[in-house]
Chains A and B, each alone.
Chain A
Amino acid sequence: MDAVEVLRTLTALAYAGVGVIGYRLWRRTRSQPAWWVAVAFGALGISVLVRRVLPADPTGVALAVDVLTVGAIVAFPYLLYRFGTTLHRPRFAWAPRAAAAVAAVVVAATVVNTIFFPGAGDEQPGWWGAYLIVVLVYWTVLAVAVALPLWRAGRGQPTPISSRLRTLALGALALSLALLIAGLGAAGTIRQAVVGAVIQGIALGSAGLFAVGFAPPPFVRAIWRGSETWRLREAEEGLMTATTPRAVADALLPVFARLLGGQSASLFDRNGELIGAYGPNPDTVVSPAWQFTEPRFLDDSRLAMPLRAGWVLVRTSPHTPLFGTEELDVASGLANLINLALSRIDLHEQERAARLALERTNEELQALLYGISHDLRNPLVTVLGFIELLRDSRDVSLGSEGEDYVNRIDRSAHYMDELIRDLLELSRVGRTTEAPEVVDLVDLVGSIADEMQPRHPAVGIEVDPLPMLTVERSRARQLFTNLLENAAQHAGSGNVRIRVSSVRTPAGDVCVSVADDGVGVPPDYRERIFGLFERLPGGEHGEGTGIGLAICQRIVRQWGGTIRIRDASPGADVQIVFPASLVRAPAVMKADG
């Protein structure tokens, strides 16, 4: 067997293979285009294969088979053309009927020729030349009529669908080319062997193109999808950073449209409201009655993809139902990503709403606290005022018991006053309209120490280098006043030493320490003591309201810092960490530091 024979066998097998592919395509999609593919290539494939084993001079049954197969082969371009018209409307309305008429004539002529002039070597009838030309023209015209729209449909950026269409177009044209050469070769005098090989080669190639066009193997698809991959990745990134459903639509809809070979796509929420659209003529309405859970083609060019909370509607091309089945899988994957992104946005919204509600409640509570504390002051003024009058009154003689009672009332009333003042102060932290400014802590602590001097003459306050912070001055003053007063009052004796120092942490934050050498704070109180109304045991209510440290903690927290108490043995060390963002200038160390 020479090369041409080998090629011929291979070509026959190839077309049989394409016939099988066509059949399986129809089995899978059951669409009209697929049916024509199955018929056209099925008939061609079977015929070509059968003819390989047919005897050279068929008679009887073999003759009938011969006639059938040759008829099928000649009918192929018409069948292929019918496949084309299911995808693209023919430009001239009369074209399909004209094609049918011509095909009928050609098939009839071929049948006649085969029956009455079997064998290639016999003398040909006079009309053989004309017949040949008609067949060539018929084949070429119909092949071009199929190939041209397919080629045009594949124009623009390459996608798997468009690449497949162009591959098919090339296949149809290649087959015509093979035929043309065969026809010319029969009429001309070129060396038969070379021509035969070339013809078979092209025919084999066109079978390959058809095969790849109808059933591209994964690596081919991967190559075709190559340019799409980065676009998909971009879309995924856009999806993950989207903060509104509209942003999701803007990121994904272009990808959806292109992936499925279409121009437009729309995203709807679960109520059928349009979230976003892309493209020249997108759908803007969905039917609320849709209940399906898998992507479905509503008609030959509209695809509906259900999401967990909505719909994507894509205007695809007519080719998509047949050629876009793998792309549908990718689209389903993207739909899952959309589900994820939308539910993330939903959660985010819920969380934000909850946080806002919480903030509002907080504000209301603060206002309530302030209002109550404020209203309590009026009766307190009366109580304190009249206690004094009672004491100073010459009309009333209290006696020692009376004095005692009045004193107790007075102490409690003063304590109430302190409580109310502190509560008012606490409720005001964070509501200040003061602007942060650069505060030199050394100056601030120094001035607080000077103020405290008359009231606590035996207390010694040492101030080491401290940083300069950008904070609200009055809050800073409040913080350090509370801490120093606390240390002075609760040390346990009059002559306590307080040292205020600072240290820089590796992260750039500054830790300021207010340490005293008094009685200290027991370990199990070091956390609790920052709570509201928490006081150390053993002290009378004259020892403080239990609000001062709560105020300190709130101030520090507002600034994004932390406060805690450490053991200083003897005494307690209150350490406040100020975040680096507040530090304007670090503490200036002394020369011998």
Chain B
Amino acid sequence: MTSLRILIVEDNADHRFLTRHAIERVGGEVIEVVEAGDGAEALDCVHGRGAFQGQSPPHLVFLDLRMPGVDGFEVLDQMKTDPQLHTIPVVVLTASERPEDVKMAYVKGTNSFVTKPDSPAALEDVATYWTERVALPEPPAA
């Protein structure tokens, strides 16, 4: 079985660590976690270029919004308007709870908006929910 490839886009190294930790606790060995430190790296990853040359796109993306350079909104926008990539579920995971940010993220097509919780347990719940969804079997070919 191919492993579930999950991309974490987050500029804060500590938060990346925590999110990865939560996902790995939930997913076990079938999960492969890839990290990107900013928006540009994230786009390289989903397009399979640059440092991620030749690699397949992720099955699920956890996306921070406020990053220097190319921010989360930009990444979201590009992914959701790309015919190849827009089916990849994106979970915005950010410290911001501003209504404007929530609205903007949904307008750009995010699948979910999660304000960074204060406990890894809650983070694990989010990870469980989405990995289960993404890991559902393919519908039978028509």
Contacts and interface: CB of A to CB of B under 8 A. Distances in A.
A388 interface: yes
B132 interface: no
Contacts of A384: 118-119
A410 to B, nearest CB: 10
Interface in B1-53: 12, 14-15, 18, 21
A381 B119 CA distance: 8
A565 B119 CA distance: 36
A381 B121 contact: no
Interface string A403-418: 0000000000010010
A374 B120 contact: no
A386 B15 CA distance: 10
Contacts of B119: 384-385, 388
Given A388-B121, A414-B118, A374 B96 contact: yes
Contacts of B121: 388
B72 to A, nearest CB: 14
Contacts of B95: 374, 377-378, 381
A452 interface: no
A380 interface: yes
B98 to A, nearest CB: 8
Nearest to A433: B99
Interface residues of B, number: 14
Nearest to B25: A392
B92 to A, nearest CB: 15
A389 B15 contact: no
A291 interface: no
A529 to B, nearest CB: 27
A382 B15 contact: yes
B116 A389 contact: no
A385 B21 CA distance: 10
Interface string B110-142: 000000101111010000000000000000000
A388 B15 CA distance: 13
Contacts of B123: 385
Nearest to B11: A378
A381 B21 contact: no
A378 B97 CA distance: 12
Contact of B14 (A377, A385, A417, A424): A385
B12 A382 contact: yes
A423 to B, nearest CB: 13
B15 A381 contact: yes
A382 B118 CA distance: 8
B66 to A, nearest CB: 9
Interface of A: 374, 377-378, 380-382, 384-386, 388-389, 392, 414, 417, 424
Given A385-B18, A417-B118, 5 more contacts: A380-B118, A382-B15, A385-B123, A388-B119, A389-B21
16 contacts: A374-B95, A374-B96, A377-B95, A378-B95, A380-B118, A381-B118, A382-B12, A382-B14, A382-B15, A384-B119, A385-B18, A385-B120, A386-B14, A388-B119, A388-B120, A417-B118
A-B pairs with the 5 shortest C-beta distances? A385-B18, A382-B14, A384-B118, A377-B95, A388-B120
